[in-house]
Structure 1
Amino acid sequence: MDLTAVREVVDGQIALPWRQGDAWLAGGTALFAEPRPGLRRLRDLTTLDWPPLTVTEAGIEVAATCTITDLLAFAETPGAPWPSGRALIAGCCRAFSSSFKVWNTATVGGNLCAALPAGPMISMAVALDGTCRVRGLDGTERAVPVRDFVTGNGSTVLGPGELLRSLTLPAGALAARSLMRRVATHVWGRSVALVTGIRGRPEGRLTVTVTAATSRPVTVSFPCTPCPGELRGRLLPALPCQLLLDDVHGRPRWRRHLAVHLAEEVRSTLAEER
């Protein structure tokens, strides 16, 4: 879609004062997906040439401008470290309600900053205990856990002029056993409920996260694998009606039912693994 109100696109490296009508541009697949009459200037982040992925013993740093194609290629590289974590990353990459052609342009940072409930990079990053590296126009940076980065449907903690520099996924979470379960109305459809689980070693701590069904991520954790009743007892109060989405893709009660059902699948499967 054309953004007819935009008057200029500027190099993201140029230090310019932030003004009303500015927006950061990376892949642009979310930015150009709907009319945005308030936009006047786009600040192009691709000119910064950030390395898409940096892998160390401590984990992975994913640049905000890393495309879904690049992330998926890493996740599916034979012999790369953290097979369980990479499988979760690959599953979330393939949960996009778009074709592989869009993945060549869509970015990890753009999906996080769009803060759509069905954003699969949000699901991935919360499940793997990710941290957002947020940078201000003056160069100062702050770290924000992904679970706190998204505050609602389409809203984040980013202030005027702030940008998401990168996402860090720690090695401990990548090495843990993890699993994803998802429901969509058709193969390439938007997720109506997506549940991830991660079980740490050796103590067996279990963390379950619900996304897509809710306006922001919902996480519940247990020191060891709970029984079905314990999981349900913690999850249902964490999914009040006002937090559940109500749109053409599904009603709140159905989404809650799916979330709890998928969470139990995740719990039981991870509990069986040794």
Structure 2
Amino acid sequence: MKEHSNNILSVDNLSIGYSSKKGDTIIASGIRVILPQGQLVGLIGINGSGKSTLLRTLSGLQSPLSGNITLNGNHLSSTPPQELAQQLSVVLTGQSISKNLTVLELVSLGRQPYTNWLGSLSETDSTIITKALEATDTDTLKNKKCYELSDGQLQRVLIARALAQDTSVIILDEPMTHLDLHHKAAVLKLLTQITHEQQKTILFSTHDIELALPLCDYMIVLQEGIARMDTPQKLIEDNIFNTLFPSENVRFNKETGRFIINE
């Protein structure tokens, strides 16, 4: 991929996996990717390829086995937690939240990295929260309890909380899981709008490759322990999707941009 002058997050020779007394279990290595400002980047790969592990590592929730991660010019590992929370927000699948909170209360939690020790919200905080609710079309839900929301509504509320955190990078793990086609499309359009209108850098993992292909600026493909990042069109031209799944079951049609089940 081409270099940008406004790169936000850079990864150099990264190895991801798990450490134990028996040694390291490497899931993927030699990862080199660069996330530019204001770009929507999809992360794809078959189950077990390391998507969630990579996202957790890039979020600072899990230590890399080796390599460097740089966020806004500083090493991720040496960035204090509160400072990191002002630069990078995360929405994980199955994230533990109190569904007894109202939507407004949950979204307001996004301001925690900025509030004083009493946790009181300033006028600026309230303005940012209101804008996050409006941007995700959740302002009419703000007085509802989270347990009253549909899966699609809750996903938009979690994205609103990430927006309220006002970070340059937003990382989402499978934000379209358990959603029907209509709500998957709505979430994808919302992410596209946020990146291009607010110049946020959004990295999200997904199994909905066909939906993501037309909307992503870049995609990262994790396959057999190797990561490749490029534009969707370049990945299609280089036949990357042809080998993503076992060829005896599925093949990719370059003309239609769709996967076809082999008979």
TM-score, with normalisation over the residues of structure 2? 0.27
Q: Select the structure with the greater relative contact order (CA < 8 A; seq sep ≥ 6).
A: 2
